[in-house]
């Protein structure tokens, strides 16, 4: 349950009157989710090289004349990314001006700013090293994995900042015993599934299949490109991870009981089930771009739910021993 920041008392209902900085933090999180989805759209449409190998300029200029559609898509992504970076910086300053020393939102706001800088550097690296468009190298795969991990950590930091600005307590991540291990396993498996999903999306974009049966045959060919052979990993591990998340959410709600933990456990389980259904549809329809974006959005929502569930559970008192 959220804790009153001044008195440390448990609050049984979610806060309804958010101050301006708390509302702004929610907007910053939403803006970053839009940027993430647009970045996936850039990859799906092959527009990553729309600005050439230049960064931060676009084709060597600030505003290109008579741009191609790929250039417009990539330039829009860079513009919204810049706005998101500015918003994160504004949030950091606002949190430090309105929250006293030791407030838990300060730490996550700092983490969000640092991760935003890394996010920009990783995005620049993809462009400068040519890991865009039709590149299918191991370098691009490694960069995508790092980019995905950093993006998830950034989203988690922003979600925690908004959560704590709304009145939720701080919590310790270390020294939490079995409960900490349950959360760590849920988070780790989700990161791995996210990485495998990013690789699968890249393979679907670069090596499209005419049908589901054809795609499955391609996955098993020993001469197939490694991106094609890796596609089978994601759906298998996604199912295993979904089961682990639902089980972990149930365990945390029992071992660290509180109304808010129970509610978040139910929400997390529901979002995971929805993500599985979207993933199955995405696979059956051969990953159309629109459905890929919905799939990615739900992946971010699953991650946010896990982070908030873990933070809330680990801030609650352990259940009494029988």
Count of positions (residues) in the chain: 322
Cβ within 8 Å of residue 114, ≥6 positions away: none
52 pLDDT above the threshold of 90: no
pLDDT of res. 213 = 66
Phi/psi at 65 (nearest 5 deg)? Answer: -90, 145
Q: Which residues contact 122 (CB under 8 A, 6 or more apart)?
A: 143, 146, 147, 150
Q: For the chain, what are the domain ranges?
A: 19-170, 172-322
Number of H helices, E strands in the chain: 10, 0
**Tokens representing 281?**
């549809």
Query: Distance between CA atoms of 43 and 38, rounded to whole angstroms?
Result: 9
Rounded CA separation 131/123 (Å): 10
* pTM listed for this prediction: 0.89
8-state DSSP, 232: G
> What is the CATH topology of the domain spanning 172-322?
1.20.120
Average pLDDT, the chain: 87
Question: What is the tens place of the pLDDT at every residue in 89-118?
Answer: 999 999 999 999 999 999 999 999 999 999
Which pLDDT score is estimated for 322? Answer: 41
Q: Is the pLDDT of residue 229 over 70?
A: yes
CA atoms within 13 A on the CB side of 316: 25
Does 169 have pLDDT greater than 70? yes
Tell me the per-residue pLDDT of 186-224, one tens digit each, with 9 for 90 and over.
999 999 999 999 888 888 888 877 666 666 667 667 777
**Could you tell me the pLDDT band of residue 12, with boundaries at 50, 70 and 90?**
very low
Alpha-carbon distances, residue 195 vs 150, 152, 230, 262 (angstroms): 11, 10, 11, 28
């Amino acid at each position: 349950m959220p804790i009153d920041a001044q008195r440390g008392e448990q609050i049984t209902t979610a806060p309804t009157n958010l101050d301006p900085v708390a509302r702004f933090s929610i907007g910053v999180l939403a803006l970053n989710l839009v940027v993430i989805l647009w970045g996936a759209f850039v990859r799906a449409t092959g527009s990553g090289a729309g600005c050439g190998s230049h960064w931060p300029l676009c084709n060597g200029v600030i505003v290109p004349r008579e741009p191609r559609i790929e250039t417009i898509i990539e330039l829009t992504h860079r513009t919204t990314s810049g706005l998101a970076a500015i918003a994160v910086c504004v949030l950091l300053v606002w949190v430090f001006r309105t929250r006293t020393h030791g407030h838990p939102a300060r730490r996550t706001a700092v983490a969000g700013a640092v991760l935003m800088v890394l996010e920009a550097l990783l995005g620049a690296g993809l462009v400068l090293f040519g890991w865009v468009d039709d590149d299918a190298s191991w370098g691009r795969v490694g960069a995508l994995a790092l980019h995905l991990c950093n993006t998830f950590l950034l989203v988690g930091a922003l979600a925690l900042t908004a959560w704590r600005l709304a009145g939720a307590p701080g919590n310790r991540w270390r020294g939490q015993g079995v409960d900490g291990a349950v959360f760590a396993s849920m988070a780790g498996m989700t990161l791995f599934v996210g990485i495998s999903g990013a690789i699968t999306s890249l393979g679907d974009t670069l090596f499209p299949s005419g049908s589901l049966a054809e795609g499955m045959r391609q996955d098993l060919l020993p001469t197939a490109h490694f991106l094609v052979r890796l596609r089978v990993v994601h759906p298998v591990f996604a199912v295993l991870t979904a089961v682990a998340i639902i089980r972990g959410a149930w365990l945390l709600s029992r071992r660290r009981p509180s109304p808010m933990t129970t509610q978040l456990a139910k929400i997390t389980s529901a979002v995971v089930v929805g993500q599985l259904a979207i993933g199955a549809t995405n696979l059956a329809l051969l990953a159309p771009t629109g459905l890929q974006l919905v799939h990615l959005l739900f992946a971010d929502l699953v991650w946010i739910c896990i982070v908030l569930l873990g933070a809330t559970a680990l801030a609650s008192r352990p259940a009494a021993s029988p």
